Amino acid sequence: MGKTKDVRAAVEAELGFDPRIDAMNITVRNINEEVALNGAVPSYPQYLEAAAAARRVTGVTSVHNHLEVVLPPGDFRDDAMLTTAANVALERNITVPEGVEATAYDGDLTLTGTLAYGTQRAAAESAVAGLTGVRHVTDDIDISYDADPVDVDLHVQEALERSALIPDDSGVKADLKEGVITLTGHVRTWAEHDAVVGAARMARVIDVRDELHITG
C-alpha cells in the first residue's frame, strides 16, 4: 500500500512541478506501478506532456492516458479553419515531405498520406499538435516499405548498441517481419524505453511494435 501511495504521490508531484501542465483537474491512479491519468486539460500539448511527466517518475511501468482535452471557449476553431491551419503548418514544416494531408472534425485532426520514414510521420504529428483548437491527433499516415529486411534489422540493432541510454545488459532485441519491427527485452526506465523506440523509428519501417518490459 505504501509503495502504491508513493508512486501516485510522486506522479502528482511531477505533474504539479511541470510548468507546462495545468494539473488542477488531473487525478492519478496507480495499480501495481501502472498509472492512469483521468480528468481534463485545456490543450492537446498538455495532454501529451502529462503522460510524458508520469513516465519520468521512477517506478512507473506504464501510463494510461484517459485525459480529455477541454478547450477554453476562445480556443475553438471550426472544422474548415482548423483543417486549413493544419495543412499550412504541414506545408511550412521542412521536416515533413509533401504527401500528408490533415482533416479536422470537432477538434480532432486526422493525418493521411504516404511517407518514407517513421520519423517523418512523427514530424507531421508534431507540426500540428500545438495548433490552437486541436483536441486530438489521429495518425493514419502510411509508410512506403521498400527496404531490405536484413539491412533494417542490422542497422536498428547497431543503433541500439550505440545509444548511451540503453544498458548493455538490457537484452533488447529488434525483429523485423513484413515491415514491422517488434521490440522485446527489458529496460530500467522510461528514458531507456523511449531511446529504444526512438532508435527503431529511425528505420524505414511501417510500424514499431513495443513489447519492452520496464523493470523500474
Domain spans of the chain?
A: 2-69, 75-143, 149-214
- Sign of the alpha-carbon torsion through 183, 185, 186, 192: negative
Q: What is the DSSP string of 39-106?
A: EEESSHHHHHHHHHHHHTSTT--EEEE--EE---GGG---HHHHHHHHHHHHHH-TTS-S-EEEEEET
Is the distance from CB of 128 to CB of 109 less than 8 angstroms? yes
Question: 149-214 belongs to which CATH class?
Answer: alpha beta
Instruction: Kindly report the CATH number that applies to the domain delimited by 75-143.
Output: 3.30.1340.30
Instruction: Kindly report the CATH number that applies to the domain delimited by 2-69.
Output: 3.30.1340.30
* Residue partners of 48: CB distance under 8 A and separation at least 6: 129
Q: What is the pTM of this model?
A: 0.76
Q: Which residues pair with 150 in a beta bridge?
A: none
Is the distance from CB of 140 to CB of 115 less than 8 angstroms? no
Is the distance from CB of 144 to CB of 158 less than 8 angstroms? no
Question: Are 2-69 and 75-143 in the same CATH fold?
Answer: yes
Crossing angle (nearest 10°) for helices 118-129 and 79-92: 130
Q: Give the angle 209-173-185 at the CA atoms, nearest 5°.
A: 80
Q: Give the angle 187-195-178 at the CA atoms, nearest 5°.
A: 90
Note down pLDDT in tens along the chain; length 216 residues. 445 568 999 999 999 999 999 999 999 999 888 899 999 999 999 999 999 999 888 888 889 999 999 999 999 999 999 999 999 999 999 999 998 999 999 999 999 999 877 778 889 999 999 999 999 999 998 877 655 555 666 667 777 777 666 766 667 887 777 677 788 888 888 788 888 888 777 766 667 788 888 876
